[in-house]
A and B are shown apart, each in its own frame.
Chain A
């Protein structure tokens, strides 16, 4: 069983937290902090397993993590999971994110944590591995996003205003998932206040150019 999945950046800022057992918010934050503390002080070229010192579980639990550029992906699992299997799963997860977000970078996770959750939900359910086939995951995610879009399509033809407002609310921003509709993303950015948009774009660009995409780093490592 997987007890928790955490994503945080190099400074310990949580980017996604998914606990498959209930803790209250304070304890969750404490777990994230402690985990970050444990993981961040480890060298790049040491093993990806970590035991002990956890609020979650006991000796039966292990932390299995991967570090991609600015982000740590940490899975807390018990002994029924295969260590190497989980490492593979993390890789599948990141590759899936990469496909869904097109060269995913930290900013994607910052601004679209809900989408990351939806993708994760297709892979892990209630602490158990649901699907490991990346194509299958992407198909399901895409189909669901298409469905979301279709729910708003009639609005678009009837009242453009409404559509736009909904659009702005991030509901139709799902174009980023479907790799074919890049224009959506660009148009989305247009709605941002000019300064911000520029900043966003700029930063994103900077990140990308600084090899911020996880996968590039991952492949470089392996």
Chain B
């Protein structure tokens, strides 16, 4: 073995390495190709050797040759061999080569799946990294499907280096395998708050890229991104986020309002130009999206424009360019603010940098007015003369035309001027935009009647000088202008001064060198001119001119009759015969001019581009009907050639059918792919055949046979070409009449806003280009043959498939992941094979909303068991049980069956019972509105209503400045059968429900009613042991008549208020009435009394208590400092009334305001929690509790319950908890338990408060 290695190495001594190859190529400059071909032969030899080092060297050289343009796909298999080397060095070479030359149709890619999987799970992070990098370049749908799960696992890798690569590559995976987006999204979202900035940036990158294509699905992430934007300091991340917001604001104007302020701040504060620029850009996007005026609107625009001006004035050309670019965006909506910088922009027109001049040109569009149009155009014309490159000159040309023709020639006051500008433009050499000039000429000549005399004269000159245009620019478009010139001269020939001359010019032999369609127009219009000449000579006794004209036609037309172009030939021969006939008549002195003129009689009126759409479908024509029966469902059908298909059923391309077809085809394709993937002998089809296949389903690709109805209707006695004109005219007339009715109003409005248009006919108001007769014919097809314009997106766009609704994923709301959406995991291959066909179908249909059947659910759970091996089986069991319960509820509650999200365990998101989709929406709405919490003032007399709906809206509401929260996760909901009558004070529903629950305990009702919803509170309910009943109500005072208990809750809406709920229970047999409640206020805490009452007055309790009945009253206290507990002395007075007597009684009490009572249960994301801890402005403190003899989850539940904490994350015997005080102090706990000793490490921004809270916790546990 060793000998072999040595031998191989010795051989290699004589091999070339990459450097030698490069050097060799450099030394063989004159016969490079030959040298390289010998090198390739050597490489082929090297690849045949067994030594992997030799192979790697060869592959390395091939990579270089690939860059030089040599096809190296023949070595694909060797590349795979090198990739699978165990040495990193070679592996890296292999992957590099693969990333350079593998692509989707490389056959050997399917051999790599297992190798890549192996590398991905390699213990060496660089093996993994190299595999990820390589994969990112050549991932195919198959690879994406097979490896999605592995990559997903890597997203949680311990090394940030791997994490960030895995996160980034997910985007490629999504593109190739869109089904993976939903399952992977929660984790991706989690990575947005990864502790490593690189990973975070990668996640932002991916989500921004996704959101750019389908922004609406990512609107719900706006709060999260907003938080990132305000917290991140990484400019790369900020830029991406700000760009993303730019894409989101058009969908949600309220978001824009929220953004303006932080963006403005950034604009003021940042020193990074790139960031500044993006901020300005997004502010512009925001301003565009906000149509209605905001008070500080103009200030923002001013700020933007001002900043942009600074950029434009900068000496750095890059900034200048970007400034102009952004300026053009403002221009669309706020032209006024840009116009004030006209000087600057005109100045940029003279810049030496072409890119900058082009940008400045864009801006000019908005700068013109009636006054300065001519001046600006003059300046541009100067540039046209100076411009050296054709690109820039063409750009100038289109801009001039754009500027002049904008909004219906609004700014043109003198059309003669415009015509001459157009004529001047025809002198441009080598422009591509001849047709543009031509269509302008036609448009103006047709729509502006008064200009026709001038236009015709100009066009006649143009025709006369046609050789100037055609001479050297044979191949390009300027001769298109002649098309317009000939048509105008023909159509409006009555305005010609000297028609004979023009006729002569049009029939010059040189014309035959023009493109066919122009010649055709020449011939046709020569006939028109001829008619005009005849008419002008009518009544003239001397008929020589007329005869000369006929003779000229007869002499010259044969040239065109021989034309290779059918259209020209046909027209010419018709006209030639006609003229010959006329000549005969002329010789007999018959007056023919009238008849000849009748050929071209009638005025051409413009037709609106969209007129066709308004043509009603004739009665009895069902476009959806099959002409032939639909093809049979045979398996071979999709192999059928397309041509046959479309020939037989030219009209069946209605969307309804194609949809079915597409689905069906997709299903089969998938099935076939599956089959191919499992067949190791299958070699994939060549790309070309695949392409044909993919095109089949698209509606657009089915050729539609064009039926020109005007052709078959023959008018006897007229030549063919004239028929066209005649019919055309008739049809247009008809259409016009029809359209007149519809468009009357519209036209009237338009008319008012125009300058010289009073002289144009009513039809000319339409914005049309009638010159394009050919186009109009296609438009006038009675069948809506053209694809409708709502089909804006390219059907081949890979991003279309990623338009997947993700919102409900996050909130675990409407549609959690279905079984079929789970990423394929290798170990489950066998199970997949056993899948029923029905399920298979579901697997392919991402958007399947069908309720899942029991069987699939069980299967799923089996799968899940395997997946989540890190979970304790005990917990799992419980969870499953729980899910079953939930599922039933779901079925009951929402008619649509839902399933709990699987991601819950992984993402630390807690499963909630399904709620209406509005929950999520309202969440975002809430964040966006930033309104104060809607207080629930109404008296909820019966609680049933509140219970029935889990009240997502109310619960998701928290303090306005809080970050986005998971709605209602922490909510404890419970049905109850309480029949107490209660007086409600202003209060949150959340509190209310908690209270109610607590109250139950107090009254020793059953805990956890069977029928009611039981949701998870912070994951604690998962445990098997039921929690002991708990109550926060402590005894306030008691005597023989009455028992008083109380609980204190912070008021969410007001940082200085707490609500004390007091339960009064009548213990005696007498009636208790006239109860009055009073406390002795302290400096810090005061009882809120109704207005007008003194500071020492007592409050009357608004109810009486019959024997054995209890009721609750609430009192609001205002507090100033909440960091210390305190006690208030108070008195309750009441009258005990029985049948014989009534006595006045009094009861003293001490109201204890603990620090705990100032805390409010606030849910917190684990990532936000981590951020908080990292932030470093929290003081820490800790306590130990000895001899705690209760299960850990009970302990947590107690802390949650009694001290208003919520569990952020729990791992085994360790949990992090969070709460917030009414004044916004954060309190974080880390609770650990080990053999009866509980250690609580706590952090808070207020050490005194923390100390007191900890003391109280200690006390809670010392009591039990």
Contact = CB atoms under 8 A, between A and B. Distances in A.
B209 A128 contact: yes
Interface in A163-193: 164-166, 168-171, 173
B273 A50 contact: no
B353 A25 contact: no
A85 B236 contact: yes
A46 B353 contact: yes
A42 B352 CA distance: 10
Contacts of B26: 110
A43 B171 contact: no
B88 A148 contact: yes
Contacts of A22: 103-104
A57 interface: no
B60 A47 contact: no
B239 A85 contact: yes
B209 A80 contact: yes
A84 B23 contact: no
A87 B318 CA distance: 10
Given A46-B317, A114-B63, A82 B277 contact: yes
Contact of B13 (A80, A165, A171): A165
Contacts of A170: 17-19, 57, 60
Contacts of A148: 88-89, 92
Interface stretch (A67-75, A136-144, A206-214): A136-144
Contacts of A49: 318, 321-322, 355
A217 interface: no
Contacts of B60: 114, 170
Contact of A113 (B64, B202, B239): B64
A55 to B, nearest CB: 14
Given A121-B133, A165-B13, A47 B169 contact: no
Most-contacted residue by chain B among A17, A111, A130, A140 (CB, 10 A):
A130
Interface in B1-57: 5-6, 9-10, 12-13, 15, 17-19, 22-23, 26, 53, 57
A169 B53 contact: yes
B274 A45 contact: no
A65 B274 CA distance: 16
Interface stretch (B66-74, B366-374, B497-505, B824-832): B66-74
A9 interface: no
Interface stretch (B160-168, B427-435, B637-645, B996-1004): B160-168
A216 interface: no
Contact of B88 (A25, A85, A147, A168): A147
A161 B391 CA distance: 61
B17 A82 contact: no
B191 interface: no
A82 B274 contact: yes
Contacts of A144: 88, 92, 126
Contacts of B68: 14
A54 interface: no
Given A111-B22, A126-B136, A162 B212 contact: no
B320 interface: yes
Interface of B is mostly: helix
Contacts, number: 177
Interface string B314-333: 00011011100000000000
Contacts of A29: 69
Nearest to A84: B274
Contact of B89 (A17, A82, A110, A171): A171
B277 A84 contact: yes
A22 B209 CA distance: 19
B9 A165 contact: yes
B391 A52 contact: yes
Given A113-B67, A114-B63, A47 B15 contact: no
A202 interface: no
A125 interface: yes
B137 interface: yes
Contact of A88 (B13, B274, B322): B274
Nearest to B236: A132
A16 interface: yes
A48 B318 CA distance: 6
Interface in B836-861: none
Interface of A: 1, 14, 16-18, 20, 22, 24-26, 28-29, 42-43, 45-53, 80, 82-85, 87-88, 110-114, 117-118, 121, 125-133, 136, 140, 143-144, 147-148, 151-152, 159, 161-162, 164-166, 168-171, 173, 196, 200
30 contacts: A14-B67, A20-B137, A22-B103, A25-B69, A25-B70, A25-B71, A46-B355, A47-B320, A47-B355, A49-B321, A51-B355, A52-B391, A82-B278, A83-B277, A84-B322, A88-B274, A110-B22, A111-B22, A112-B18, A114-B93, A121-B133, A125-B165, A126-B169, A128-B202, A129-B236, A132-B201, A143-B126, A148-B92, A166-B9, A171-B89
Interface of B: 5-6, 9-10, 12-13, 15, 17-19, 22-23, 26, 53, 57, 60, 63-64, 66-71, 87-89, 92-93, 96, 100, 103-104, 124, 126, 129-130, 132-133, 136-137, 139, 161, 164-165, 168-169, 171-172, 198, 201-202, 205-206, 208-209, 212, 235-236, 239, 243, 273-274, 277-278, 317-318, 320-322, 352-356, 391
Given A148-B92, A162-B6, A164-B13, 19 more contacts: A47-B320, A49-B321, A80-B208, A82-B243, A83-B274, A84-B277, A85-B274, A112-B19, A114-B63, A121-B133, A128-B205, A130-B165, A130-B168, A140-B161, A144-B92, A147-B126, A161-B10, A166-B12, A169-B53
Q: Lowest 4 A-B CB distances belong to which pairs?
A: A126-B136, A84-B274, A22-B103, A47-B317
